[in-house]
Amino acid sequence: MAIKAVISGALGRMGGTVGRIISEAHDLELVGGIDVKKGSLFGTEVVPATGIDAFFKEKKPDVLIDFSVAAAAVENIKAAARNNVALVVGTTGFSPAQRKEIESAVEGKVPAVISSNFSVGVNIFWKLVREAARQLGDYDIEVTEAHHRYKKDAPSGTAKTILDILDQELGEREKVYGRVGATERKDEIGVHVIRGGDIVGDHSVLFAGNFECIEISHRAYDRAVFAQGAIRAARWIVGREPRIYTMQDVLGL
């Protein structure tokens, strides 16, 4: 039996990429999409988010894959939990309060993989950053990310995950978002955001010491890497215990 998937944010950049790959997969069935307005996605119906409960009841999907916007994702996640639909959530930009809302909607009700980045490469990159932080905690650290001109949130979800990893390894340090004028460097972490053109997603962490620097970088060339990871997560999550998992769990890292 094919896994039945619905995509939320269906008419967006990621929705289209995920939809194309699912429609070409033999073990998955795209049963439709959710967005703000009606439309179509690889021969399936896209309905407005206001009709999500009725859509779930009609299509009976196994999994909802959400790449939308933070406030919308929270509501769609609650609807999936109400309708017993497993979740793969790639949307970024959640506030701490929204993240709590998601946790209380999902925990003990449906299984969900939530990750700020579904690419296999970024999941390895996070591990390398953790190891470097363990060894080079006394070096100056600067995090830089670059994305396309239409990205809504900054810093990226992936950059926030990098900052969480650094905090876990080094204790909470002040974050300085860009520098201008007279600045005296202490042991803060510098964070730099670039927005322009059609950059798919670049992240780098610089560890600068005396007489040497090490820079760990990841560059995505095509949204297919995120979509393939999300689809891998969708195959993995259906039938799991109802709690929140990460992409590291999916990959066994």
Ligand X SMILES: NC(=O)C1=CN([C@@H]2O[C@H](COP(=O)(O)OP(=O)(O)OC[C@H]3O[C@@H](n4cnc5c(N)ncnc54)[C@H](O)[C@@H]3O)[C@@H](O)[C@H]2O)C=CC1
**Closer CB to ligand X, 111 or 229, in the complex:** 229
Q: Please, what is the minimum distance in Å from the beta carbon of residue 77 to ligand LZUJQKHR?
A: 17
* CB < 8 Å & 24+ apart, contacts of 152-157: 152/69, 152/93, 153/70, 153/92, 153/93, 154/193, 154/195, 155/191, 155/193, 156/92, 156/116, 156/193, 156/201, 156/203, 157/92, 157/93, 157/116, 157/117
Interface residue with ligand X among 11, 113, 129, 237 (CB under 6 A) is 11
Q: Does residue 155 touch ligand X according to CB under 6 A?
A: no
User: Is 55:79 a contact under the CB 8 Å cutoff?
Assistant: no
Interface residue with ligand X among 5, 6, 8, 81 (CB under 6 A) is 8
Task: Tell me, by CB under 6 A, how many residues bind ligand LZUJQKHR.
Answer: 9
Q: Does residue 68 touch ligand LZUJQKHR according to CB under 6 A?
A: no
Residues 106-135 that bind ligand X (CB under 6 A): 115-118
Q: Does residue 19 touch ligand LZUJQKHR according to CB under 6 A?
A: no
The edge-to-edge listing of strands for the beta sheet with 175-177 is 175-177, 189-195, 140-147, 201-208, 213-220
Q: Does residue 44 touch ligand LZUJQKHR according to CB under 6 A?
A: no
User: Which partner in ligand X, ligand LZUJQKHR, none is near 34 (CB below 5 to 8 A by kind)?
Assistant: ligand X
Ligand-binding annotation for 9, yes or no, is yes
Q: Which two tokens stand for residue 79?
A: 């609807």
Give the 3-state secondary structure of 43-68.
Answer: CEEEEEHHHHHHHHHHHCCCEEEECC
User: Which partner in ligand X, ligand LZUJQKHR, none is near 67 (CB below 5 to 8 A by kind)?
Assistant: ligand X
Q: Is 109 a catalytic residue?
A: no
**Residue 194 phi/psi, 5° resolution?**
-120, 135
Q: Is 60 a catalytic residue?
A: no
Of the candidates 147, 160, 203, 218, the residue annotated as catalytic is 147
- Give the sign of the dihedral formed by CA 100, CA 104, CA 108, CA 114: negative
User: Which partner in ligand LZUJQKHR, ligand X, none is near 123 (CB below 5 to 8 A by kind)?
Assistant: none
Q: Does residue 147 touch ligand LZUJQKHR according to CB under 6 A?
A: yes
Show which residues are catalytic.
147, 151
